[in-house]
Structure 1
Amino acid sequence: MVNWFVDTYKSLQPTWRELKLSFYLLNRNVLQRISLIIIALLVLVAIFAPWIAPYPSHAISETNPQDKLLPPSSRYIMGTDELGRDLFSRIIFGTRISLQTALIAVGLALLIGVPLGAIAGGLGGWADEIIMRITDIFLSFPPLLLAIAIAAFLGPSLSNAMLAIAISWWPWYTRIIRGQAVSIRERQFVRAALAIGTPMSRIIFRHILPNTLAPVIVQASMDIGGVILTIAALSFLGLGAQPPTPEWGLLISTSRTYFLNAWWYSTFPGIAIFITVLVFNLIGDGIREVLDPRTRKF
C-alpha cells in the first residue's frame, strides 16, 4: 500500500510541474490574469445567481409596472426594464444562461467534429474524401448565416439555437483535427502500432486523437466567446431565447424600443457581452501560449 502511494506521488510530480508552468504562463500576463479573475467571477455568479441577485424573482416572473424604466439608483443599481424588473438581477441570471448555452453548444460541436476529423485523418482514402467533402459543404456558408437558417428552420428557442450553432461550427474542429491526424499518422509510433497488428480504430482513438487535441482546446476556449456572441445575435433576431428569459441578446433586442428614454436598458447587457467575449478571447490566447511552446515569450 505504501509503495502504491509512493508510485502515485512520483507519477503525479511531472503533472504538477506542468500545471505550475501552465499557471505561471497564464498568470504572468496582466491582461490574462485579469481575464482569469473575471472568468472565475462569472462562473461564481452563474452558479450562485439566486443568492447574488438582489431581486431573484424579477429574473422571470415577477413584474412591477409602477417601477418601470427607472434609471440606475441605490435601489436598482442598473435601473429597471419596461415591466419594472431589476435589470441587474436579470443580467446576473443571464450570465448563467450565456455560459451554460455556450458550453453546451461548443461541447456538441466538439462531439461531432473531433471524432469525424480523427477518422478522416486516421483512415484516409474514401472515408477522408466523404467526411471532408461534407465538411466543405458546411464551410462554404458563413457560420452565423448558417446558424440563422438552421434556427429559423427548427423554430425559435434557446435549445434550437444551441443545436444550430453546434451544426454550423463542428466543421472547423473536423478540419483542425484532420490536419493534425494526417501528420501524426506518418510518425514512427503509429507505424509501429500498425506493424504489430493493432486495430486501426484503437490507433485512431488511443494514439492519434490524444496527440491532436492541443489546437482544438485552444480553438474551443476562444470559441466560447464567439458562441456567446452568436447566441446573443440569434436571440436579438428572435431566433434564440424567448421572453421572459433574461438572455443578454434578448434584453438588448427588447430595449431597442426604449433606447432614447432608457439608455441603461441596452447599455449594461451590451457591456456584459463585451467583457465576457473579450476575456474568453484573451484566455484563448493564453492557452495557446501554454500548449504551443513555439509561441511562448520567455
Structure 2
Amino acid sequence: MSVIGSDEKVLSSRYMQWYRFSRNPAALIGAVIVLSVLLAALFAPYIVPHPDHAGAVVDFRSRHAAPDMAHWFGADKVGRDIFSRTIFGFRISLLLVFGVLGISVPLGATLGMLAGYFGGWTERIVSGLTNVMLAIPPLVMALAIGNVLEPNLVNAMFAITLIWWTWHARLVYRVSKSISAEDYIEAARMAGASNFHVLTREILPNCIAVISVKTTLDAAFVILFGATLSFLGLGVKPPIPDLGSMVADGRQFLPEKWWEVLAPGFAIFYATLGFNLLGDGLRDMFDVEA
C-alpha cells in the first residue's frame, strides 16, 4: 500500500508540474520556438530554397540583392541566399550549445556534488578552483584562447566550456550541501548505502530540476556568447554559415543593405528568446531557483 501511495504521490506531483507549465503561455511559446529552431536546423537541407549556398558558392548577379521571391531575406556580398544561410546557421549555434553544455554541465554538476557531499579538502579544492575561474571575465578568457588557438568551432567550444562549468558547479554545490544535511541522507548512510549510491540515488535526483532549468537558460547565453566570438572573428571559418559572422559581414553595408544584418540578428534573438522563455517556464514548473 505504501508503494502504491508513493506512486500516486509522484504522479500527482508530476501532473501539477505539467499543469503549471501548460498554463504558462510564455513557457509554451518558448517550447514552440525551441522546437522550431531544432526542426529547422535538423531539416535545413530540405526546407531552404538554396541549400548549396551554405557552402562556398558565388553568384555575383545576385550580389546584395534585396528581399524578393528568389531570396526571401535578400542576398549577401557574394550573392548567397541569406535565408538559407540563416537556417543553416542554427546548426552551428545548436552544435555549440550541445557541445558546450554536454561537457560543462556533467563536469560542473559532478564536481559540485562531490564538494557539497564530502566537504573537507574536496570542497576547498573545488571551491578554490571555481573562484579562480569566476574571477576571470568570460569574454577575456575566450578572446585569449581564441587568439592563441586557430579560430574554429572546436576551439570556440573549448574556450566557452573552460569557463561555463563553474556556474553549474557552484549551483549544484549549494543544493547538494543542503541536501547532505537532511535526515534521510544520514539514514541511508547508517543503512549501509555506499557514497556512490547516496550521490546517484539520493542527491542527484534532487538536483535534476535546478540543473534542467539552469541548462535551458544557459543555452541562450551560449548562443549569444558563440555569436559574439564569431562576430569578433574567433568563431567558425568561412564559408560555414554562422549567425555571428553573418552579422559582422553585413554591418559594413549598413544602413543601405539592412537585410544582411536583420535576418541573422533576428535569428539570434529568436533562438535566445525561445530558450529563455522555456527556462523560465521550467523554473516555474519545478518551483526552483536557478
Report the counterpart of residue 180 of structure 1 in structure 2: 175
Matched, 1:45 2:11: no
Where in structure 2 are there 5+ consecutive unaligned residues? none
**TM-score normalised by length of structure 2:** 0.92
Report the counterpart of residue 285 of structure 2 in structure 1: 290
In structure 1, which of residues 103, 107, 110 is the aligned counterpart of residue 98 of structure 2?
Answer: 103
Aligned CA distance change for structure 1 residues 72 and 171 (closer, same or farther; 3 Å): same
Could you give the per-residue CA deviations for residues 54-88 of structure 1, whole angstroms, max 9, x where no partner exists?
Answer: 00001112221111100001111100011111000
Segment drifting more, 248-257 vs 192-201: 192-201
Aligned CA distance change for structure 1 residues 56 and 12 (closer, same or farther; 3 Å): farther
Report the counterpart of residue 6 of structure 1 in structure 2: none
**Distance in 2 separating the partners of 1:244 and 1:289:** 41
Segment drifting more, 97-106 vs 120-129: 97-106
Matched, 1:62 2:57: yes
Could you give the per-residue CA deviations for residues 240-264 of structure 1, whole angstroms, max 9, x where no partner exists?
Answer: 1110111100101111222233110
Report the counterpart of residue 137 of structure 1 in structure 2: 132
Where in structure 1 are there 5+ consecutive unaligned residues? 1-8
Aligned CA distance change for structure 1 residues 204 and 48 (closer, same or farther; 3 Å): same
Could you give the per-residue CA deviations for residues 157-189 of structure 1, whole angstroms, max 9, x where no partner exists?
Answer: 111111211111101000111111111111111
**Distance in 1 separating the partners of 2:194 and 2:7:** 30
1:1-298 equivalences under 5 Å are: 20-292=15-287
Aligned CA distance change for structure 1 residues 206 and 43 (closer, same or farther; 3 Å): same
Amino acid at match of 1:68: R
**Distance in 1 separating the partners of 2:161 and 2:15:** 33
8 Å CA contact 1:231, 1:249 repeated in 2? yes
Aligned CA distance change for structure 1 residues 13 and 250 (closer, same or farther; 3 Å): farther
Segment drifting more, 92-101 vs 166-175: 92-101
Aligned CA distance change for structure 1 residues 43 and 11 (closer, same or farther; 3 Å): farther
Structure with larger RCO (C-alpha < 8 A, sep 6+): 2
Aligned CA distance change for structure 1 residues 136 and 262 (closer, same or farther; 3 Å): same
**Distance in 1 separating the partners of 2:7 and 2:57:** 52
**TM-score normalised by length of structure 1:** 0.90
8 Å CA contact 2:283, 2:289 repeated in 1? no
